[in-house]
Amino acid sequence: ILNVEQSPQSLHVQEGDSTNFTCSFPSSNFYALHWYRWETAKSPEALFVMTLNGDEKKKGRISATLNTKEGYSYLYIKGSQPEDSATYLCAPFSGGYNKLIFGAGTRLAVHP
Amino acid sequence: DVKVTQSSRYLVKRTGEKVFLECVQDMDHENMFWYRQDPGLGLRLIYFSYDVKMKEKGDIPEGYSVSREKKERFSLILESASTNQTSMYLCASRQNQPQHFGDGTRLSIL
């Protein structure tokens, strides 16, 4: 079983702050990395699927980078808004029936 | 848009009961998954299925079984519910990437 670590576990920021969090995973047998946003009372929603070392993806104020050689990905949120409050999950994808292995998530709270 | 529908948002059952959680997807996806989510832990895979009548154990299958008689429906069964199965249960489906999730069922076993 892959050991996927996300840090920090939780984060409180003020509206307008920029923030970032980390997903670490074993670099062997890597195929892809998924990022999901999970808002309270909603279903997890896919943000990014990243496959190549050095990949950078962007969706509005949210962006992500990927380093497959050292086994980490960063998620950045520029100018956080209260609607960004959610749990952000990362999940590397590695062989064996194509199972995603989820980290415990980073819980972000953005205060007005 | 892909729609993954779980039959109940909240469910309360008693210890020893047989519990069925239903999940339906409308996009003809081959792969379907059941997870549970507990505080401080990531989504943990219980069972998955890559085709009708096919099932594979995930990381925590003990105390659960599944059924996939039709492509669109994947059922999770708690054979004899216990209090340690109180949790949030999420169903997901996928054809390629990414994965699409239902809204979850918060199950309480009393």
* pLDDT tens-digit series, residues A33-42: 999 999 988 9
- C-alpha dihedral (B23, B28, B31, B32), degrees to nearest 10: 0
- Res. B49: pLDDT tops 70: yes
| Average pLDDT over all residues of chain B | 94
In Å, how far are A2, A3, B76 from A39, measured between CA atoms? 25, 24, 24
Min CA distance, A33 vs chain B (Å)? 10
| Average pLDDT over all residues of chain A | 91
The answer to whether residue B39 neighbours chain A at the CB level (below 8 Å) is no
Lowest mean pLDDT among A50-54, B32-36, B38-42: B38-42
Q: Both tokens of residue B91? A: 């169903």
**Could B48 and A1 be called an inter-chain contact, meaning their C-beta atoms sit closer than 8 Å?**
no
Lowest mean pLDDT among B14-18, B53-57, B95-99: B95-99
**Could B97 and A4 be called an inter-chain contact, meaning their C-beta atoms sit closer than 8 Å?**
no
Min CA distance, B45 vs chain A (Å)? 8
Which region holds residue B53: left if phi is over 0, alpha if psi is between -120 and 50, else beta? left
Q: Both tokens of residue A11? A: 């984060």
B56 neighbourhood in chain A, CB within 8 Å: 97
Question: Please, is B100 exposed, middle or buried when counting C-beta atoms within 10 Å of its C-beta (0-12, 13-18, 19+)?
Answer: buried
pLDDT at site B69: 96
- Strand order of the β-sheet with A86-93 is A10-14, A106-111, A86-93, A32-38, A45-50
Question: What 3-state DSSP class applies to A77?
Answer: strand
Overall residue count recorded for chain A in this entry: 112
DSSP A4-30: -EEE-SEEEEETT--EEEEEE---TT-
Question: What 3-state DSSP class applies to A37?
Answer: strand
- Res. A32: pLDDT tops 70: yes
Residue B32 and residue B3: Cα distance in Å, rounded? 13
